[in-house]
Amino acid sequence: MTTLLSLPHSPREFGFYLDGAFHGGRPLFERASPAHGVPVSRIPKCTVADLEAAVVAARRAFEDRRWAGLSGAARGAVLLRAADILRRRRDEIAYWEVLENGKPISQARGEIDHCIACFEVGAGAARLLHGDSFNNLGDSLFGMVLREPVGVVGLITPWNFPFLILCERVPFILASGCTMVVKPSEVTSATTLLLAEVLAEAGLPNGVYNVITGSGRSIGQALTEHPDVDMLSFTGSTAVGRSCVHAAADSNFKKLGLELGGKNPIIVFADSDLEDAADGAAFGISFNTGQCCVSSSRLIVERSVAAEFEALVAAKMARIRVGDPLDAATQVGAITTAAQNDTILGYIARGTAEGAQLLAGGQAVDLGRGQYIAPTLFAGVTPDMAIAREEIFGPVLCSLRFDTVEEAIALANDTVYGLAASVWTKNIDKALTVTRRVRAGRFWVNTIMAGGPEIPLGGFRQSGWGREAGMSGVEEYTQTKSVHVELGKRAHWVTG
């Protein structure tokens, strides 16, 4: 028995959030549900002057120490209250994720549970954040390393996990004592604005969390260039990540955290549990319609079982329930934007043209409204093909074959990215050798996309800089100050 939620009768108009209050009066973007084609939200097109006002508010809230001056316990208490409020509003926030993003409601609810955990871990991190001391500098000198919040943080987020990516950062930024200005993706801004309500109710002081909505080219670019923003945390494409590096260099050398693209390998050995691995492969590329930075998009499978394994994955893919994301039984929902839909279908056409063989999917799914693509598997892929090299950001898995462990490792590392990887084998030597030699910031052995906010996440190579979540996630938003204390009388330099 499944339930199908209904669509809103009319689009909801949101205000932007500045210095503890919602504001209107700006022209509006209208966002249509990608699954249904009906307008669901209206989001302000803020001006660069609005951004300026938000940075001023965040700066004031940082400098007067209304947040940074609190104890870790007091900051943690606000984060724990926010977790409780999120628990209460879980279904409502999940519903808005579905409306703007197109992901299945059951998945969205699971993501909000993960977000609640992020706030709980952030609360603990606020209490545990500490520096270091050096008691080995001799009896007359004592050393301390203080951790201080970086200051005003700019946070730019993408449309694939609008609330989850936000919540893998915001509690940790808040735990550190920083204040922030957030620029969500223009197509999925609603839940970032709902978080402002949650944080205000939890007791976060005004000016600490500000949300300025608008396009990447205007508001996003201005935030990356802003001379009074001390750090920028950007999650999105590698191309825009590169422009953030240039903007930081040309403005104030702001500290950067970058979480970018990936072309993640899933390596399957003949001695693995092939049923388990096939389920992992189908899940790893179909979850969130493959619009996932850690989607396992390159299947690297041992030649002796490759045909059998590809057939298993194709059979699993054919059974995945693609459908209306408001239906609780749906496993794969809509593609979030029309542009992304075109990009994915373009890559599918290119894969066929390049000579790869389609074993599953390969076409749009017509549900009468909205945009959907069937989970797709290409076999016979070679490393030089565009579908093997470029991030598709859709439910398209490309299968490459290997004969030796060394060949598997070389294929896995044959990419400019290094975000995530997965290896499937019952042989501990192979599992650990591959884990140690493949360059990726997150690794799964005999599982995929598992984990929680206790463990840091981030990329190697062109997948980014820095780590989010866990204690690393809060330390990311701090800087260290080394303090030297003379004990007793200092030996004089001027003598005689």
The verdict on 419 binding ligand NAD (CB under 6 A) reads yes
- CB contact set of 183 (below 8 Å; sequence gap of 6+): 51, 154, 155, 156, 157, 211, 212, 213, 214, 216, 219, 220, 223
Q: What is the CA radius of gyration of the chain?
A: 24
**Active-site entry in 97, 259, 302, 475:** 259
Beta bridge partners of 133: 144
DSSP 217: I
Q: Is 243 in the site for ligand NAD (CB under 6 A)?
A: yes
Looking at 42-50, 254-262, 310-318, 444-452, which segment touches ligand NAD (CB under 6 A)?
Answer: 254-262
Is-contact 415 402, C-beta < 8 A? no
CA distance 206 to 199: 10
Binding ligand NAD (rule: CB under 6 A), the pick from 47, 106, 206, 237 is 237
By C-beta, is 119 or 417 nearer to ligand NAD?
Answer: 417
Q: What is the largest CA-CA distance in the chain?
A: 94
> H-helix or E-strand containing 267?
strand 264-268
Stretch that binds ligand NAD, among 46-54, 100-108, 215-223, 363-371 (CB under 6 A): 215-223
- 3-state DSSP assignment of residue 180: strand
Count of residues engaged in binding ligand NAD, rule: CB under 6 A:
30
Per CB under 6 A, the segment of 68-76, 318-326, 457-465, 475-483 that binds ligand NAD is 457-465
216 binds ligand NAD, rule: CB under 6 A = yes
Verify binding: residue 191, ligand NAD, rule CB under 6 A. Answer: no
CA distance 170 to 155: 9
Buried b / exposed e along 38-59 (16+ C-beta atoms within 10 A): ebbbbbbbbbeebbebbbbbbb
Tell me, yes or no, if 486 is annotated catalytic. Answer: no
Q: Which residue in the set 33, 41, 107, 160 belongs to the binding site for ligand NAD (CB under 6 A)?
A: 160
Of positions 41, 176, 233, 235, contacts ligand NAD by CB under 6 A: 235
Q: Does 188 bind ligand NAD (CB under 6 A)?
A: no
The piece of 52-60, 62-70, 259-267, 424-432 that touches ligand NAD (CB under 6 A) is: 259-267
Q: For residue 291, give the nearest of 451, 444, 469, 165 by alpha carbon.
A: 165
Is position 460 an interface residue for ligand NAD (rule: CB under 6 A)? no
What's the closest the beta carbon of residue 10 comes to ligand NAD, in angstroms? Answer: 26
Which residues are part of the catalytic machinery?
Answer: 259
- Give me the residues that bind ligand NAD (CB under 6 A), please: 156-160, 165, 183, 185-186, 216-217, 220-221, 224, 235-237, 240, 243, 259-262, 293, 391, 393, 419, 459, 463-464
